[in-house]
Amino acid sequence: MSTTLLRSTRLGSSLSSISRTFLHQGAPVKHLHTSLKTHYAASNSPPPAEGFLPGVANSQLIKHTHHDALRNPELAGVANGETKKMNTFQAINDAMRIALATDDTACVFGEDVGFGGVFRCTMGLAEMFGRDRVFNTPLSEQGIAGFGIGMAAMGSTAIAEIQFADYIFPAFDQIVNEAAKYRYRSGGEFNVGSLCIRTPCGAVGHGGHYHSQHPEAYFAHTPGLKVVVPRSPIQAKGLLLASIRDRNPTIFMEPKILYRAAVEMVPVGDYELPLGKAEILTQGKDLTIVGWGAQLYVLENAIQLAQKKMPGLSVELIDLRSILPWDVETVCNSVNKTGRLLIAHEAPKTQGFAAEIASTVMERCFLRLEAPIQRLTSYDTPFPLVFEKFHVPDMIRCAEGIERAMKF
């Protein structure tokens, strides 16, 4: 009975405003703290597109012009093409449109994707390519993953959506025991490399413990999978196309706080960005900082705050992009240069992916380290609805971590 009730609640969330499932019924939420969540609940208005992640629109990491967008050498294949202003969900939609148009075997499926999806990422695709290629599924994550595995095993391209990353766990066995091992256990005779699973992840400020998690570390422990987290519309489109076309099952985690908050001039052509390759966003000589997804904008602000206290501070900021496989060489080369490392992510600290990075860096760069490696993460508790803003590693906590690393 409880499972039925949970599924009914989730369906209601999909068909109406998602935020209604996050807020208390009756009187507005009232607490002493002044978090944005309380402000927007009390005013009965929706939270801003960027939630509690201010400054994305003005970030130096965002490519605001045609010239800036195409200056990236990774986009050489579309350097002479057009760009179009898109937010992250529109860029993801465009990537799936290209995948469906260039691969007759490709299909998109998941809960509510035929209607455009709760975050509008599949909007218009069913009308464009037909409902036999873009279609809804029952509320069964295990079924979605299993169907995708079977479809990929028969040679088709399966683009599955798990509506929230928090609900990927019912599909865990299918993903880690079937999809990840399919090629290995058949001695290479069969594979499900054409399976890509998209899922929105991360906190937005009002999601609570069932709509805020960032579970990349669970899957990073599984040989046979690839795990990708984009930071922006340009990155999302190129990395998603690469994930769909890669010959390994891939989990593509989309920071949902960036769906509308991040807006860039995105190449309209067909392009891919490399999986397993980090990107150095800013060059530096004093400290290496590693992050991925939405956390990069927090880190950008933290660096600026730290530089006000420590004039002349030179930081190398790296977007990992791929969690599995991750770019060991780029990170370790940077740490060997700077002698210091800070890693930040939204997932809890214990066994978070920062621990894997820290361990590898200790093995490879131990004699070059000038300070203990800093890990800035969420706390080891479930995501708290009313304290989400304080649960995730914000600008202040990250700036304090920078200061600790530099003053050791």
pLDDT in tens, 117-150: 999 999 999 999 999 999 999 999 999 999 999 9
pLDDT at 55: 77
Rounded CA Rg of the chain: 21
- Under 8 Å CB-to-CB from 45, ≥6 apart: which residues? none
pLDDT at 186: 93
pLDDT at 289: 98
User: Across the strands, what pairs with 86?
Assistant: 264
- Under 8 Å CB-to-CB from 378, ≥6 apart: which residues? 214, 345, 346, 347, 348, 349, 391, 392, 393
Percent of the chain with pLDDT over 90: 84
Q: What is the pLDDT of residues 148-163, one digit of tens each?
A: 999 999 999 999 999 9
pLDDT at 206: 87
CA 234 and chain centroid, separation:
13
pLDDT at 49: 55
Q: What is the pLDDT of residues 264-304, one digit of tens each?
A: 999 999 999 999 999 999 999 999 999 999 999 999 999 99
pLDDT at 57: 87
3 state DSSP class of 279: strand
The continuous run of DSSP H or E covering 159 comes out as strand 158-161
pLDDT at 249: 98
pLDDT at 84: 97
Catalytic positions, please?
141, 211
Q: Which amino acid is at 4?
A: T
Q: Please state, in angstroms and rounded to a whole number, the distance separating the CA atoms of residues 215 and 345.
A: 11
- pLDDT by residue for the chain (408 residues), tens digit each? 333 334 433 433 333 333 333 333 333 323 323 343 444 344 444 445 566 676 798 999 999 999 999 999 999 999 999 999 999 999 999 999 999 999 999 999 999 999 999 999 999 999 999 999 999 999 999 999 999 999 999 999 999 999 999 999 999 999 999 999 999 999 999 999 999 999 999 999 889 999 999 999 999 999 999 999 999 999 999 999 999 999 999 999 999 999 999 999 999 999 999 999 999 999 999 999 999 999 999 999 999 999 999 999 999 999 999 999 999 999 999 999 999 999 999 999 999 999 999 999 999 999 999 999 999 999 999 999 989 889 999 999 999 999 999 999
